[in-house]
Amino acid sequence: MNAGPSAADSTNGAMHVEFEGVSKSYDGRTFVVDDLTLGIGKGEFVTLLGPSGSGKTTILMMLAGFQTPTSGAIRIGGRSVQDLPPRKRGIGMVFQNYALFPHMTVGANLAFPLDVRGIPEAQRRERVERAMSLVRLSGLEDRRPGQLSGGQQQRVAIARALVFEPGLVLMDEPLGALDRSLREEMQYEIRSIHQRLGVTVVYVTHDQQEAMVMSDRIAVLNRGRIEQIAGPEGLYEEPERAFVARFIGENNRLHGRVASIEDDLCEVDAGDERIRAIQIAPCEPGDMVTLSIRPERIAINPRKGLYHNEIEATVEDMTFLGDHLRIRLAACGRRDLVAKIPNIVGHGAMVVGDTVHIGWTVNDCRALNFEEEEESHA
């Protein structure tokens, strides 16, 4: 486990993992994964993020060799792996259920993948010691998995995936069984290990915070297709589709009809208001679009004229959440517009039922493809 280059400087245009036109169907009619083309650079941490049934675990299982694509090609290090069994792909794997051998000590669990690869005993001991140190469990080699906490067992599972020094590690919902505080701690632990080793990681989760904390890039999946792939900030600040805006972070969605378009801006009639937004989806006057505005970008009672988009709203509800207040508003023909404001002196001047003015910048409002409210999120 020699230290490798960081994810930021290790890609250099070289793709470590490549999916080319990969599809998977179990019945010949419905595609769980549909025409996936994706490149993952050497040393990158890429997360497959999406709701249940979006195809993310199937993609991981095809990469690992546990499932066979219906069509398309998968390459690791430039080499096709279509005919390679899982044990010959040189991949480390971490699962949600840890998959540790309960009758073996921790040290024996870590030594097992080295033993099957014919690594001499002296080297096995050295690598096990390094792996245990890496996950901060030195001295626990003689314990059995049942004598460890859930977090410690997950660290052992990560160490076992890394002990034989693979170039690629796959992680399938590895933190799903942990409580919230431990899960957050392990997110930073995994990110730190990745940064130290420079190993390529493909990670599967349905938890957006988990993906945002750890990833270099996130592929947002929906119904077997990638809706958008970008870095965490890019996905949050610049969603390209209504599904991504809805799935990544809390988001206000207003539906309206395009009134006019000028350059990359458009004016949209939403309820009784005319809103100016950045045009993202291809559209023409008369088309329906979905407007996306993050709650923290909505100002309440701003100085008049500060924002191009300024409208009147009624306070429907206020929720205290510690460092901020969540304000539900009636505006633009809806009663579920949400604003988030910092918990600072003066917020008490506003109460439920008040009429307020709200505003947001054009840059914080994106006109995306129209998405019906009743559409399934799966």
Same-domain pairing of 207 and 308: no
Q: Which residues contact 282 (CB under 8 A, 6 or more apart)?
A: none
Same-domain pairing of 229 and 109: yes
Same-domain pairing of 259 and 285: yes
- Dihedral (CA of 51, 52, 55, 57) sign: positive
Is residue 377 in a domain?
A: no
Q: Which residues contact 232 (CB under 8 A, 6 or more apart)?
A: 211, 212, 215, 218
Is residue 1 in a domain?
A: no
Q: Which of 184, 235, 192 is nearest to 210 (CA)?
A: 184
Is residue 53 in a domain?
A: yes
Same-domain pairing of 191 and 296: no
pLDDT digits (tens, 9 = 90+) for 73-94: 999 999 999 889 998 898 999 9
Which own/partner contact pairs does 54-58 have at CB distance under 8 Å and 24+ positions apart?
Answer: 54/221, 54/222, 54/223, 54/224, 54/378, 55/24, 55/221, 55/223, 55/224, 55/225, 56/204, 56/206, 56/221, 57/172, 57/173, 57/204, 58/24, 58/32, 58/33
pLDDT digits (tens, 9 = 90+) for 215-253: 999 999 999 999 999 999 999 999 999 999 989 989 999
Is residue 244 in a domain?
A: no
Same-domain pairing of 264 and 180: no
* Other residues' Cβ atoms within 10 Å of the Cβ of residue 2: 7
Q: Which residues contact 271 (CB under 8 A, 6 or more apart)?
A: 254, 256, 331, 332, 333, 334
Is residue 271 in a domain?
A: yes
Among 6-20, 85-99, 205-219, 230-244, whose mean pLDDT is lowest? 6-20
| Tokens found for residue 241 | 């589709």
Among 21-35, 288-302, 333-347, whose mean pLDDT is lowest? 333-347
| Tokens found for residue 257 | 């009809």
Q: What is the DSSP letter of 178?
A: S
CATH number at residue 264: 2.40.50.140
Structural domain count of the chain: 2
Same-domain pairing of 230 and 88: yes
Is residue 162 in a domain?
A: yes
31 - beta bridge partners? 25
Same-domain pairing of 227 and 299: no
pLDDT digits (tens, 9 = 90+) for 59-76: 999 999 999 999 999 999
Same-domain pairing of 258 and 195: no
**Predicted confidence (pLDDT) at residue 2 exceeds the cutoff of 60:** no
Is residue 343 in a domain?
A: yes
Whole-number Å distance between alpha carbons of 214 and 312: 40
Is residue 58 in a domain?
A: yes
Domain-terminating residue out of 209, 237, 265: 237
Portion of the chain with pLDDT greater than 90, in percent: 75
Q: Are strands 79-80 and 71-76 parallel, antiparallel or unpaired?
A: antiparallel
Enclosing domain of residue 214? 7-237
Domain-terminating residue out of 214, 237, 260: 237
Same-domain pairing of 226 and 256: no
CATH number at residue 166: 3.40.50.300
Same-domain pairing of 199 and 57: yes
**Predicted confidence (pLDDT) at residue 345 exceeds the cutoff of 80:** no
pLDDT digits (tens, 9 = 90+) for 138-192: 999 999 999 998 889 988 999 999 999 899 999 999 888 788 888 898 899 899 9
Whole-number Å distance between alpha carbons of 222 and 378: 7
Confidence (pLDDT) at 342: 87
**Predicted confidence (pLDDT) at residue 7 exceeds the cutoff of 70:** no
Distance (Å) of CA 375 to CA 54, 108, 372: 15, 50, 6
3-state SS assignment for residue 324: strand
Domain-terminating residue out of 192, 207, 237: 237
Same-domain pairing of 59 and 170: yes
Same-domain pairing of 313 and 228: no
Portion of the chain with pLDDT greater than 70, in percent: 94
